[in-house]
Amino acid sequence: MKPALLLVALALAAGRAMTVVVEEAKVRKSKAFYAPAVATLKQGEKVKVGEAEDGWYRVSGGWLHQSALAGGKVKAGGSKWEGSDAAQAEEVTLAGKGFNEDVEKRYKGERDDVDFEAVDRMEARKVSEKELLRFMKEGQTLPKEAR
């Protein structure tokens, strides 16, 4: 891309507001999932993004991974979340439409071959950032720069 075009692209990207689509997303100090979190964003929040690098957008205070955002483009091989359609789909479901709790509740009532309690227990399972860092350090998989 020509430098002039690149500047235009950057200018367009700068300040673009995107919507957080995951329940909770961390803004991190650097472009790594194990980097310290500097802020937590909730589903539906709008966030202004700047340039993208290695799948991460620069946002106020740090970096946010594109997979947390509607319209975030996932790199080659990953799933596609481009354009306004995806953002619109999120808007519709964030407004309480689509496949949601109400649909699940009704579905659950109609089936006897489902175990949602086990799913709730599974969803409650989470290794905290601190524990995960310790786990990676112990198993010697934490990158040298982060040790």
Partner 1 sequence: MKRAAAALAMLLTLGLGARAQEESGTKKLFGGMLKKVKVNVGGKDYGVNERQLEGATKTVKAFRKSAEEISESEERFIGRAVAAQLLSRYKPYEDEALNGYLQSVLQAVAGVSDRPEIGGGWHAQALDSEEVNAFAAPGGFVLVTTGLLKTLKSEDELAGVLAHETAHVCLKHGLKTIKASRLTKAFSILGAEAAKEYSPSEIKQLTEVFGGAVDDVVNDLVVKGYSRDKEYEADKAGARYARAANYDPEGLSRSIEALGDVKGGMLKTHPGSKQRLKELAKEPGEASEDYQDSPARRKRFAARLAGL
For partner 1, what does the binding mask look like between residues 31 and 70, x meaning CB under 8 A? --xx--------x-----------x---------x-xx-x
Residue 2 interacts with partner 1 (CB under 8 A): yes or no: no
β 52-53/56-59 pair status: antiparallel
Based on the number of CB atoms within 10 Å of its own CB, is 6 exposed (0-12), middle (13-18) or buried (19 or more)? exposed
Rounded to an integer, what distance in angstroms lies between the CA atom of residue 131 and that of residue 61?
24
- Closer by beta carbon to partner 1, 7 or else 84: 84
* CB-based contact 42:74 (threshold 8 Å): no
Q: What is the closest distance, in whole angstroms, from the C-beta atom of residue 53 to partner 1 in the complex? A: 15
SS3 65: strand
Q: What is the closest distance, in whole angstroms, from the C-beta atom of residue 52 to partner 1 in the complex? A: 14
* Backbone torsions φ then ψ of 117, nearest 5 degrees: -65, -40
Number of residues that bind partner 1 (CB under 8 A): 68
- Closer by beta carbon to partner 1, 4 or else 120: 120
Rounded to an integer, what distance in angstroms lies between the CA atom of residue 87 and that of residue 80?
12
In the complex, which residues of this chain contact partner 1 (CB under 8 A)? 21-26, 33-34, 43, 55, 65, 67-68, 70, 74-75, 77-81, 84-86, 88-95, 97-104, 106-108, 110-111, 113-116, 118-119, 121-123, 125-127, 131-132, 135-136, 138-144
